[in-house]
Structure 1
Amino acid sequence: MDRKKYIKLILILGSLTALGPFSIDMYLPGFSGIAKDLNTSVANVAMTLSSYFIGISAGQLLYGPLLDRFGRKKPLYIGLFVYILASLGCVFVTDIDAFIGLRFIQAVGSCAATVASVTMVRDLFPVKDIPKVFSLLMLVVGLSPMLAPTIGGYVTNSFSWHAVFLILMFLGIFVLIAARFGLPSNYEPDQSISLKPKPIVNNFLIVLKEPQFFTYAFTGAVAFSGLFIYVAASPILFMDIYKVDAKTYGWIFAFMSMSFIGASQLNSLLLRKFSSEQMIFGALITQLLITIIFLIAALFHLLDLYGTITMLFLFLGCLGITNPNTAGLTLAPFRANAGSASALMGAIQLGFGSLASFAVSYFVKDSLIPMVILMTISTTSSFVILNIGKRSIKKSY
């Protein structure tokens, strides 16, 4: 594959993957404005974030079999069309319950792009290149949490939060056009794949029983739930506890994203010397030490705004290394049912993310300690899962 085509594919696949993060992050600075306009509380507005996570988690399982049965393009187009319509609906919403429902539908649409992009990485690149490709995708995806809340803050201040969803609608249209004209169709639809519930469930069970899949899918998902904890807690942490305004919050969020991006690119370099297995183990050990130090400092009230930002910056850097490696090793054993495997991996990841965001909305009120406790639990659990699961993996590819 020539370099120009390689870069084009990375950019298009990255834009597909970035649609979800943009939809999550861009409206965060508008939470207080949304609550005021819809006559509700910020906590209720946070439920729209949770409903998005639930929608994107459930939608992953829907699109996996569809992508394997009908090819990568048709389900992708349908999902993006649903996303565009739901985004337009959010522009005109006047009721919090309708908003929560539309965010769920928007998520179901957007995850077609997420599942398709991950699946097509498996289609288009050799197994040995997958962790590197995921690291490059992290660079493209990583720009979204840098840009989204910053743009969202300025758009919300200059116009209103409604304009954010208008921008998301046009972003969906752009991604649809890019996918239509820029992505190859080298996967032959498999008509033998049944869309009846029982065969679909059986297919997912076959994937789930693969030791390499469940070890790295659950290790990655539980570790990555730390990012969802941070995203869900950040408006409360920075705007309510540390009293920063919407624009400043956007810039803090953007700065934090540099850690995730930088680490994912460092990962590409380190993969020349170390295996993905070694990178995951090293990143989780480091993440565990960081969360323990973070928790001790929080409990003894040793952290101001800048100290908190520093600890979160280090924590997110570890996730930037863990995520592309766990994703690559999770999908490595699969070829025929890569769609189902990537969908199940995404559903597991977003499922834990949904639980994490619900936990944040329940526990994080006026202190950062509950957030740090949740991060410590997720990191410790991930490390335990990795070390138990590794015993059952046999090298077979």
Structure 2
Amino acid sequence: MVAPQQTTQRQRTEAQVIAFLAAMGALMAFGIDASLPAFDEIRPAFGMASNDTRVTLIITTYFIGMSFGQIFYGPLADRFGRAPILRFGLMLYMVGALFAMVATDFTFLLGSRLIWGFGAAAASVLRTTITRDLYHGDQMARIISITMAFFLLGPIVAPLIGEGLINFGSWRWPFGASAVLAIGMLFWSYRFGETLNPANQRPLKLGPTVEAIKKVATTRVTVVYTLAMTLSFGAFFVYLASAQPIFDVIYGRVDWFPLLFAASGVIEMGAFFVVPRFIVRYGTHRVALISLTITLAISLVLLFFTWPAQGTPNFWIWFVGVMLANIFIAMLIPVGMAQALEPMEELAGTASGIIGLVTMGGATVIAGFINAQLAHSVTPMIMSYVVLSGLSLVIITQAHRSKKPHSHWPGGPKTR
């Protein structure tokens, strides 16, 4: 598919690494968030009723593509290098976005979104893989956390950009803008260069891949954090796919959606700048326990208000409660990925792909089932937050039964 990449010595500042990784994440998120304000125009364009929830399949198919794409890109990135695989994914991302922009049939649109998500999977898996190439331990968690803070510019800016493009043109314009952004990211990748050490290149054979899967499946901390992230992401994905219909159908406040969705992203981004300090002080494992405990507590309070209100609590109680729960769920991302990838070493690409497939694929299935239950009530959403965060918390407690969590920086960036 592509020739092996020879790594050259390249000096990168921490700021350059964070900027590049954050841009990768923002591009991935733009494919989701910029399309959300388009739902109201997409429905009539494809002959749907104003309350038809099938429009959320636009998000679901994107996630499905991202889920299965990660297991494809991971082993290839370990064999051929990070840079060529990222570029292939970016080109596929661009093709999917352009196909979606010109779609005249809803099935074709969903197929285009599947391709688009498959391309975005390269950025998703290689974002953490590149971080693992350059950093390790709690410092890796710190870099992922800072990167995630900038990544959350997507939910802040993308819906507003999408709304502006739709008002100026049509629902197709945000899709075209995504293709343009992919081209920019493609050029940037040439400047950033390769991060895989040639000594760590792995053969693209079934045997080593199976061995990598076995290592992921038999490493306690990796399995525990992968399962916990899958369940927690399931709750977050419910919100991501159903937020616009809830604003519109259940609360009748669709005009508020872009602004409030962006506002929640601003607060979440601020929280990610705080997380590195807690990681330094308490270690990644303890931060994970704290974040899930608070998520469960907030979810129980939300359920207390939702149940007597027959599934439609006061709008502001629902919005603020879910926003706070999402902040602490999102905090699990940097610590969870750092803990899961720490033992993988030279298997970082393949391991990232496997973890991405399980977490994103599992979360998409969970969210798809729960979103199907949402009609005129947010009760299924709130119940999912309670159950999934509670299960995640129980699972996380098993991560270090025979190993103390790190409470210090194990080391700095690896030399290149």
Query: Which TM bucket (shorter chain)?
Result: over 0.9
1:220 maps to what in 2? Answer: 229
CA deviations on 1:75-103 (whole Å, 9 max, x unpaired) are 11111111111111111000011111110
1:331 deviates by 0.9
Give the Cα separation in 2 of the matches to 1:22 and 1:242.
25
> If the length of structure 2 is used for normalisation, what is the TM-score?
0.90
- RMSD (Å) for aligned C-alpha atoms: 2.1
> If the length of structure 1 is used for normalisation, what is the TM-score?
0.94
Q: 1:120 aligns with which of 130, 145, 149?
A: 130
Q: 1:361 aligns with which of 346, 351, 371?
A: 371
* 1:90 to 1:189, Cα distance in 2 relative to 1, 3 A: farther
Q: Is contact 2:81-2:201 (8 Å) kept?
A: no
Residue 327 in structure 1 maps to residue 337 in structure 2: yes
Give the Cα separation in 2 of the matches to 1:34 and 1:6.
41
Give the Cα separation in 2 of the matches to 1:147 and 1:27.
12
Q: Is contact 2:284-2:405 (8 Å) kept?
A: no
Q: Is contact 2:81-2:194 (8 Å) kept?
A: no
Give the Cα separation in 1 of the matches to 2:136 and 2:371.
41
What is the 5 A alignment of 1:275-294?
Answer: 275-294=283-302
Residue 263 in structure 1 maps to residue 271 in structure 2: yes
SS of the residue corresponding to residue 204 of structure 2 reads coil
1:279 deviates by 0.7
Give the Cα separation in 2 of the matches to 1:188 and 1:117.
19
Q: 1:54 aligns with which of 59, 64, 67?
A: 64
Q: Is contact 1:30-1:153 (8 Å) kept?
A: yes
Q: Is contact 2:53-2:245 (8 Å) kept?
A: no
Say how many residue pairs are matched: 394
Q: Is contact 1:263-1:320 (8 Å) kept?
A: no
Q: 1:238 aligns with which of 247, 250, 264?
A: 247
Structure 1 unaligned runs (5+)? Answer: none
1:166 deviates by 0.5
Residue 203 in structure 1 maps to residue 212 in structure 2: yes
What is the 5 A alignment of 1:77-92?
Answer: 77-92=87-102
CA deviations on 1:214-240 (whole Å, 9 max, x unpaired) are 011211221222211111120121111
The one-letter amino acid of 2:252's match is K
2:41 maps to what in 1? Answer: 33
SS of the residue corresponding to residue 398 of structure 2 reads helix
Residue 72 in structure 1 maps to residue 75 in structure 2: no
1:44 deviates by 2.2
Give the Cα separation in 2 of the matches to 1:259 and 1:345.
27
1:229 maps to what in 2? Answer: 238
Q: Is contact 1:135-1:324 (8 Å) kept?
A: yes
With 217-226 and 132-141 compared, the bigger mean Cα shift is at 217-226
1:100 maps to what in 2? Answer: 110
Name whichever structure is richer in helix by fraction. Answer: 1
What is the 5 A alignment of 1:173-192?
Answer: 173-188=183-198, 192=202
Give the Cα separation in 2 of the matches to 1:6 and 1:72.
18
1:184 deviates by 4.1
* 1:135 to 1:190, Cα distance in 2 relative to 1, 3 A: closer
Give the Cα separation in 2 of the matches to 1:327 and 1:4.
22
The one-letter amino acid of 1:259's match is I
The one-letter amino acid of 1:278's match is R
1:341 deviates by 1.2
1:393 deviates by 5.2
1:360 deviates by 3.5
2:380 maps to what in 1? Answer: 370
Give the Cα separation in 2 of the matches to 1:11 and 1:183.
14
Give the Cα separation in 2 of the matches to 1:225 and 1:26.
21
Give the Cα separation in 2 of the matches to 1:6 and 1:363.
45
Give the Cα separation in 2 of the matches to 1:388 and 1:116.
28
1:30 deviates by 0.8
2:18 maps to what in 1? Answer: 10
Give the Cα separation in 1 of the matches to 2:160 and 2:122.
26
* 1:165 to 1:206, Cα distance in 2 relative to 1, 3 A: same
Q: Is contact 2:228-2:393 (8 Å) kept?
A: yes
The one-letter amino acid of 2:38's match is G
Structure 2 unaligned runs (5+)? Answer: 1-9, 411-416
* 1:40 to 1:19, Cα distance in 2 relative to 1, 3 A: same
The one-letter amino acid of 1:204's match is I
* 1:277 to 1:179, Cα distance in 2 relative to 1, 3 A: same
